[in-house]
Amino acid sequence: MLASQLLTMLDSEDRWFTLAEIEEQIGVSDKTIRKLIDETKKELPPSIKIEISRGKGVLLQYERRNIAIGEVISAMFRQKTFFQLFDLLFAEGGRYSLEELADKLFMSSSSLKKFIIRLNNSGLKHYNLRLTYAAPDLKGKEVNIRYFYWRLYYDAYEFSGWPFPNIDDSIIHQLITDVEADKDIVYFLNSKRGLSFWAAIIITRTQMKKYVTVPYGKYDWKNNMFHISMIKLAEALEQHFSVHLPQDEIRFFQALFSHNQYNYYDEAKKAAMLSIEKEKLTRLTEEKYQMVNHFLMFALEAYPAIDATDRLIWEISEFFEKMLVENAIPDFVYISTSSLTEYVKRECQPMYQGIWACMNRLGQIYPEIMYNEYHLTKLTLLVSSSLRYKSKKAFLLIGEEFSIRHYVAKLIKQDIGDELTINTSILEELTDEQMQQHGIDFVISNFPVELKTVPIVIISTIPTKRDLDNIRKELM
């Protein structure tokens, strides 16, 4: 995990990263970073190099046109004992003794037992799972076990490869394509790949007589758009792979196909769906649309600059539909995560906190609805992308030479965009009358200014992220 974080960070920009930057981002000590770099360098292919230099920091060097760092991370992950252990246990769990499994992993029995203890105390806790000792096998709720294996294989084969040798991936791919054709939709490429992994895991687990329980009453499964398609899919899977898929498994498939990201193939169909969702939102015939209305009311109250277009309303409605599906399988809510959560909490902190407050108010009206950081992350990104800033004019007052003023103006424009016009001209005097004459909405300054009619945003000489957030607030 640390190696993945390190390589992803170093790959984000083609520059030297200081050890202090890496320490802050990854959250480990300087000593641990140096050890991590030494270990990671040994696992990288010859075409990728990590250079560490006193006074400069750390630099990742490779030909970016030919290699994706994500593929390198996946290949490294497949070499880890963690992956190899669970890859062996996926279809053979409980069939090997501790000694036999240790032999296959080229470890001693005592080392494997210590490794299992470490996993039970840390790595598996998030999934509410544990490994047994005598005949090692993964124990816990079936939904959690499946999610764990899906995460394991998706991280190891995110870009290429097929880790299920006993299942024909071409059949799985075609059956998912049939669902797309049936519903006139197209899944995003990563979603379609993820669904194919899910199908292979479900087939393997049901062949082992390991089934999930999905309550019927928590969600109106028959009115879900994928209901009929999933019945057809289950019949095809039973025929091709000689498995039995009871109603709970069909509902589980339904949840997965509903939850993954897709778009309508035909723009006319999409426009029709937008119109239907908008009409249902005004009729309030279902609890989902009541929830959407309440959330939009809270969000618009917190962020008046939200551009409540038909598209946004539809996407918010889709979000709550998927959240209700997840709530029908509560274990999903407890363990689902997003790789973007830490980034959003760090870079979009005010918006993330605001969305949390909106969902907290919604939870008081609908206390039975569960959500976590994964949902807050998705909503933060969704609402952030829909903010419509009012075009305003600012006067930039920097107590430095004129070239610095132009440089700072450029930095602000690059980050804020066309919604802000920046005036850097030297005024005769800084008065409220001058502000009104030049149509200035607010002043950006790196020292205190006495004005009564326009707001003042105080920034550093070179604006920080917090400074830029404060400027955005004035636009909103």
Asked if residues 67 and 5 have their Cβ atoms less than 8 Å apart, the reply is no
State yes or no: pLDDT of 402 exceeds 60.
no
Segment 324-339, tens digit of pLDDT: 998 888 887 777 777 7
> Using CA atoms, how far apart are residues 107 and 101, in angstroms rounded to an integer?
9
What is the structure's pLDDT at 118? 93
* Tokens 């190099």, located at residue: 49
350 phi/psi in degrees, rounded to 5 = -60, -45
What is the structure's pLDDT at 415? 84
Q: SS3 of 242, please?
A: coil
82 phi/psi in degrees, rounded to 5 = -55, -55
Q: Where does the pLDDT of residue 428 fall: very low under 50, low under 70, confident under 90, or very high at 90 and above? A: low
Alpha helices, DSSP H only, in 286-309? 287-302
How many Å is the maximal CA-CA distance in the chain? 86
What is the structure's pLDDT at 399? 67
State yes or no: pLDDT of 401 exceeds 70.
no
Please name the helix (run of DSSP H) or strand (run of DSSP E) that holds residue 322, with its range, or none.
helix 310-327
What is the structure's pLDDT at 345? 87
Segment 277-294, tens digit of pLDDT: 777 777 767 788 889 999
Segment 316-374, tens digit of pLDDT: 988 998 899 988 888 877 777 777 788 888 878 888 999 999 999 999 999 999 999 98
What is the structure's pLDDT at 147? 94
What is the structure's pLDDT at 66? 67
Residue 446: name the closest of 389, 391, 392, 407 by CA.
407
Over residues 456-473, the mean pLDDT reads 86
Segment 215-260, tens digit of pLDDT: 777 788 998 899 999 999 999 999 999 999 999 999 999 999 998 8
The pTM score is 0.77
Q: SS3 of 19, please?
A: helix
For residue 131, the cross-strand partners are 138
What is the structure's pLDDT at 362? 95
What is the structure's pLDDT at 474? 84
Q: Where does the pLDDT of residue 110 fall: very low under 50, low under 70, confident under 90, or very high at 90 and above? A: very high
Residue 201: name the closest of 261, 137, 154, 257 by CA.
154
* Strand locations in 181-244 (E): 185-187
Query: How far from the centroid of its chain's Cα atoms is residue 472's Cα?
Result: 24
Residue 129: name the closest of 146, 112, 114 by CA.
146
> Using CA atoms, how far apart are residues 261 and 192, in angstroms rounded to an integer?
9
Please name the helix (run of DSSP H) or strand (run of DSSP E) that holds residue 457, with its range, or none.
strand 456-458
